[in-house]
Amino acid sequence: MHEIFRAQDGRFRLFWRLLSYVVLFLVVGLMANMIHSFFAQPDSPSLVAEFAFAVGFISGILGLTYLYRRRLDQRPWSGMTLSSLWKHRIDLVMGSTWVLILMPTPLVVLAFAVGQARIVGTEVADSGVLVSVLFVLAGLINSFVIGFCEELAMRGYVFQNLGERYPLWLATLLNGLIFGLLHFWGGLNVAVVLSMMALSAVFVALRLYARSIWAAIGLHTIFNWVYTSLLGFSSNEGGYGHALLHFEVLDSEAATAPANPVLGDIGSVLPNLVACGVIVLILLVWNQFRGRRINWRARLESDGSVEAESRVGEERCFTVGLLRDK
């Protein structure tokens, strides 16, 4: 039993550390949502509820991540790449500006092009200017909290541990799979997992190229904010979630009802993959000009930096030498 749970260095094995961390992440998120529900007011914006949610969720995830990183991992906190926000303020802004490329997604553009969606109203007309502004501000706070906590957990703790053990390309795939499986609200299907894996690859690329997770936090925040607070689509339950612009899906049954509840809306996966692939490609080209080429066969150091090219070559030569000796 000792060998099942503990590695040779005395630490808990990676599988158990990640599994327990993800479960506790969900528990902290559930408790934060309970705090939010306690202060929230039905059909009206509540900045008090959002601030309470922010304090509960952020402090909980920071404490949980620090405990795991320093005690269970026995590794430096710098591996989370969450250094001073002021130092990486440009990264935060840079991550937010990628929204101009990523959104609206080709799927939304296509829906308007073929007449499948149209603007039918605004929140200002329904609730007034002041209430609409409060809804938008409350949504921005909520989006930042979720973006910060999910990025610290997924592209911070989970990806760092995977990257220390596996090559970056494999760590990116595994991180995306875990990220996709976490988005099971409303039913888990293959389309959701694939789309989240593609989006996760963008967040990973931003972390690696900016050398911090603030850029990923910026993109994650604005991505959620635009689709929840600025663009509201009609749903089967009715309403637009108090988003600023109200969109109606004219052929809602064909657009939202999957042919198979397990496969999901597979038709929407390809545009998402293309959009995310374009961003990753742009990041690759951009960083080539900056002299920051990333070796995807390398691993992560304990401080969050990418393993040096020379060290990767030395390890590869050593491995080949061992195989020849045998």
The dihedral region occupied by 305, where left means phi > 0, alpha psi between -120 and 50, and beta the remainder, is beta
Reported pTM? 0.86
Give a yes or no: residue 3 inside a domain: no
The mean pLDDT of the chain is 83
Domain that holds residue 274: 92-325
Q: What pairs with residue 231 in β-bridges?
A: 245
- pLDDT tens string 99-112: 766 666 666 777 77
Which tokens sit at 247? 């969109």
CA distance 151 to 139: 18
Give a yes or no: residue 46 inside a domain: no
Mean local confidence (pLDDT), 28-47: 92
Cβ-proximal residues to 23 (8 Å cutoff; 6+ apart), any chain:
none
- pLDDT tens string 212-258: 999 899 999 998 898 888 888 765 555 678 889 888 776 544 444 33
Residue 193: pLDDT band with limits 50, 70, 90? confident
Between 98 and 78, residue with greater pLDDT:
78
Give a yes or no: residue 28 inside a domain: no
Cβ-proximal residues to 324 (8 Å cutoff; 6+ apart), any chain:
none
Give a yes or no: residue 121 inside a domain: yes
Which tokens sit at 42? 């039905």
What is the domain count for the chain? 1
Give a yes or no: residue 49 inside a domain: no
Give a yes or no: residue 187 inside a domain: yes
Give a yes or no: residue 82 inside a domain: no
Cα distances (angstroms) measured from residue 32 to each of 21, 57, 61, 227:
16, 5, 10, 22
Residue 20: pLDDT band with limits 50, 70, 90? very high
- pLDDT tens string 123-173: 999 889 999 999 999 999 999 999 999 999 999 999 999 999 999 999 999
- Say what the pLDDT of residue 314 is: 54
- Say what the pLDDT of residue 1 is: 67
DSSP annotation of 99? H
Give a yes or no: residue 45 inside a domain: no
The dihedral region occupied by 304, where left means phi > 0, alpha psi between -120 and 50, and beta the remainder, is left
